[in-house]
Amino acid sequence: MRERSWEKTFTAAAQSIYALLQYTDKKEMYTLVNVMGLTGHAFRMNIHPDDVSPAGPTMFSPTELLEKGLNILGFTCEQLYGFRTPAPLDKLEEAVNFAQQTIDRGIPAIGWSLFIPEFGVIYGYDDEKQELYCKDPSHDGPLPYAKLNELPLNHVFMLRIQDSIPVDPMQAWKDALDRIVQFAHEQAPTLSEDYRHGLAGYDAWIQAFRNRTVNPFGNAYNAEVVGDAREYAARFLRTLSAN
């Protein structure tokens, strides 16, 4: 059997974090396995008991999905708090400037719903052509500034790294494990009480099948994301014991 790649994951938030790390002083410090484990993404599951909604994997605030994980990895962050579109020109200009400022520092930004409703990176721009250059799980290419007003979910959100700070590896492991255990027992923040996360997510998934109300796409998407994440979880825990 061909060994899988440990450089790619279906968890787009973690993949985006890993992409940003390659442009920082910590690029040799973390593998994608470390990123998936330390940020907790390897252990996440968020299931709607009615239909296993495809919204489950991203039904958390960007602070939970991105910033807290980057904090554990040793970075402070700044968010361009999301705004609805269509938006006035000054709001779009604010978003473009936000991305340009970090790109000019040599570090991409993370964006939401650039081409599809997933996280991706904004890694370049061309003011003459009025384009940002972005990559998400579906596409790699130009995104005209004006298209920010036409994103798939009519919502603009970006995040950028501010500073790299010293990190104690043992403390990072401890903080990560604390968050993993909290999430497993549904003690982590969630955006909706209708969803079940952590270990309770398995029961919610079974309930949807018993009720014969499973959304086929939602089931397939969650299975893809969760199955991939659990492979990373197992590998992360093996490295934990080794260290």
pLDDT for 160 equals 97
Inter-residue contact 46 to 149 (CB < 8 Å): no
Band the pLDDT of 194: cuts 50, 70, 90: confident
CA dihedral in degrees (109, 112, 116, 120; nearest 10)?
30
Report strand pairing: 131-135 vs 109-112: unpaired
The percent of residues in the chain predicted with pLDDT above 70, rounded, is 98
Band the pLDDT of 1: cuts 50, 70, 90: very low
Record the tokens describing residue 176, joined without a space. Answer: 């990560």
pLDDT of 81 above 90: no
Q: How confident is the model over 21-54, as pLDDT tens digits?
A: 999 999 999 999 999 999 999 999 999 999 999 9
Record the tokens describing residue 190, joined without a space. Answer: 């969630």
C-alpha–C-alpha distance, residues 145 and 142, integer Å: 9
Supply the pTM of this predicted model. 0.93
pLDDT for 73 equals 96
